[in-house]
Amino acid sequence: MKLAKTVAEVKEAVRQWKKEGLSIGLVPTMGYLHEGHKCLIDRAVKENDRVIVSDFVNPIQFGPKEDLASYPRDIEADCKLCEDSGADIVFNPEVEEMYAENFTTFVDTTGVTEELCGKSRPTHFRGVCTVVSKLFNISEADRAYFGQKDAQQLAVIRRMVRDLNMNIEIIGCPIIREKDGLAKSSRNTYLSKEEREAALVLSKAINAGKKMIEEGERDGDKVLSEMRKIVEQEKLARIDYIEMVKWDSIEIHHKVDQPVLVAMAVFIGKTRLIDNFIWE
Catalytic positions are 37
8 Å CB contact between 51 and 87:
yes
8 Å CB contact between 53 and 146:
no
H/E stretch holding 238: strand 237-246
Specify the 3-state DSSP secondary structure of 176.
coil
Closest CA to 135 of 124, 121, 146: 146
Query: Residues 6 or more apart from 19 whose CB is under 8 A from it?
Result: none
Positive or negative torsion for Cα 46, 53, 130, 14: negative
Q: Is 227 left (phi over 0), alpha (psi -120 to 50) or beta?
A: alpha
State the burial class of residue 261 (Cβ atoms within 10 Å of its Cβ: 0-12, 13-18, 19+): buried
* Amino acid (1-letter code) at residue 168: I
State the burial class of residue 235 (Cβ atoms within 10 Å of its Cβ: 0-12, 13-18, 19+): exposed
8 Å CB contact between 169 and 246:
no
Q: What is the DSSP letter of 60?
A: G
Q: What is the DSSP letter of 189?
A: G
